[in-house]
Amino acid sequence: MNKKQKITASLSTGIIIIAFVAYLLFTEKTLCKGVDISFSGKEDVRLIDRGSIEKIIFSEYENLIGSPVDNVNLEKLEKKIETLPSVKNAEVFKKINGILGVKIEQRKPLLRVFPENGKGFYIDEEGELMPLSKNGTVKVITVNGNIKYEYNGKNITVADTNITQTLKDIYNLVKLISKDDFLKTQTEQIYVTSNNEFELVPLAGNHTVLLGDMFDYENKMRHLKYFYTDVLNNEGWKNFSYINLKYKGQIVCTKNKE
Work out the pLDDT band at 238, boundaries 50, 70, 90.
Answer: confident
Q: Which has more confidence, 234 or 92?
A: 92
pLDDT above 60: residue 208 = yes
Beta sheet of 87-94, edge-to-edge order = 34-39, 99-106, 87-94
Task: Report the percent of the chain where pLDDT is more than 70.
Answer: 89
Residue 27 confidence (pLDDT): 45
SS3 state of residue 27: helix
| Averaged pLDDT for residues 184-212 | 94
DSSP per-residue string spanning 98-121 = SEEEEEEEE--EEEEEE-SSS--E
Phi/psi of residue 112, nearest 5 degrees:
-120, 130
pLDDT above 70: residue 23 = no
What mean pLDDT, rounded, does the chain reach? 88
Q: Which of 181, 206, 210, 176 is nearest to 193 (CA)?
A: 210
Measured distance CA(99)–CA(33) in Å, rounded: 5
143-177 per-position pLDDT tens digit: 999 999 999 988 999 999 999 999 999 999 999 99
The answer for 37, left when phi > 0, alpha when psi is -120 to 50, beta otherwise, is: beta
- E-strand spans in the chain? 34-39, 87-94, 99-106, 109-114, 121-124, 129-131, 141-145, 187-192, 198-202, 208-212, 240-244, 252-255
Name the pTM for this structure.
0.82
pLDDT above 90: residue 42 = no
- Return the percent helix, strand and coil in the chain, to nearest 5: 35, 30, 40
Residue 8 confidence (pLDDT): 54
Distance of CA 119 to the CA centre of its chain: 18
What domains can you pick out in the chain, each with its CATH number? 31-104 (3.10.20.310), 109-255 (3.40.50.11690)
Q: Among the listed ranges 12-26, 188-202, 217-231, which one has the minimum average pLDDT value?
A: 12-26
pLDDT above 80: residue 9 = no
| Averaged pLDDT for residues 202-223 | 93
102-137 per-position pLDDT tens digit: 999 999 999 999 999 878 999 999 999 999 998 889
CA dist 65 → 55, 68, 102, 119, 188 (Å)? 14, 8, 15, 37, 47
| Averaged pLDDT for residues 38-60 | 90
| Averaged pLDDT for residues 22-26 | 48
User: Is-contact 83 130, C-beta < 8 A?
Assistant: no
Question: Dihedral, CA atoms, 102, 107, 108, 110, nearest 10 degrees?
Answer: -170
Residue 256 confidence (pLDDT): 75
Give counts: helices (H), strands (E), the chain.
7, 12
Residue 3 confidence (pLDDT): 52
